[in-house]
Structure formats: structure tokens, C-alpha cells
Amino acid sequence: MRMTPREVTSSAVFAVLTAIGACISTPIPFSPVPFTLQVFFVVLSGVVLGSTRATLAQTIYLLLGLVGFPVFAGGLSGPSTLVGPTGGYLIGFILAAYVTGRLAEKLARNLRGMVVCTLIGLIPIYVVGEIGLWIWLRPTLTVLLMIGAVPFLPGDIIKSVAAAFVASRGRLRDIAR
């Protein structure tokens, strides 16, 4: 699929927004995974850009961090971050953007549809993130869920609903297309 300069630019903008979301980070004493606003921008990119451009946006974000730009939470960068405790979540961002975008292409006709898309878009982040965290720590399932999922789920649900609301208002989707 060929993309126009405007489409590539909109993907780059969402890569930068995801990086900004990583800057808004709060460490959690009992978890190696911090609270961030990244999930908001990941699912927002899916609803606004659609599957292809949202996937490109999150791939650009990941590549920026891999080559050394400090765009990951806590100002981290480099390949070591992908094999650390948050690496699975970062990889999950790409899948989440695709899933959210793909669903949005079919279901995002109103706020309710967008909420469904963004909430389902959380699933790849949690699945890939938890697998990566398990590989890194090898905890029991209960510990894994308590340090990598349970404390984040309420906030991520709120961020997903907020992303759907933002996408449903204004002209954000029209501008990005």
C-alpha cells in the first residue's frame, strides 16, 4: 500500500505522541512496569489512523527507541529495553495499534463502537506484555498478574474510553485521513 506524505506524517505524529506518553511515567514500587500514558496514544492511533498507519506509527516509535532515542518510559532506549520487563508491552503496542485500527475500520461509527475497539485493543498489550514479563521474571501466575496487569487495568480502561471519546469528538479522524 502506498502512502501519501500526509499519511506518513500522521503516523510519525502518533509515534511522537506515544513517546510523549512515555515521558508521563510513574514508577510503581512493587512492579518493574511503570504507569504511563502510552496506551492512550496507542489505541487512539488505531481509532484515528486505521490499522496500517497506526501499525506504522507504533513501529516508528519502537524503532526510534531501538536506535537510541530515549523515548521509552523512564528515558530508556536501546535493544536491551526490549528484553527487559517492559519489552513485551512495547512489542504489544504494535499489535494493539493494528487490532484497534482494524476493528475501527469496521466498527468505529460512533462512540460506543470506538470504545469497543479501544478496549479490545488492550488485549494484545496485556498478552504480549505479560509473556515478556514472565520470560524476564519467571514468577507465578498470581504474581505475574499482580505486578503486570491488575494495577494497570483500571487506568488502561479509563485511557481507552478517553481515547475513544477524543477520537469521536472534533475532527481528529478527518485531519489524519
Please name the residues in contact with 42: beta carbons below 8 A apart, sequence gap of 6 or more. Answer: 18, 54, 58, 93, 96, 97, 100, 121, 125
pLDDT at position 169 is 86
Total-model pTM: 0.94
- Residue in the block written with cell 528515558: 75
CB-neighbour burial class of residue 52 (10 A; exposed 0-12, middle 13-18, buried 19+): middle
Q: Quick one: cell of 46? A: 488505531
| CA–CA dist 1, 167 (Å, integer) | 24
Helices and strands in the chain, H and E counts: 9, 2
pLDDT at position 112 is 95
Residue 64: domain span = 5-176
CATH code of the domain in which 95 resides: 1.10.1760.20
Report the number of distinct structural domains present in the chain.
Answer: 1
pLDDT at position 101 is 97
pLDDT at position 175 is 58
pLDDT means over runs of 10, the chain (177 residues): 89 97 94 96 97 98 97 96 95 98 93 96 98 96 97 97 92 59
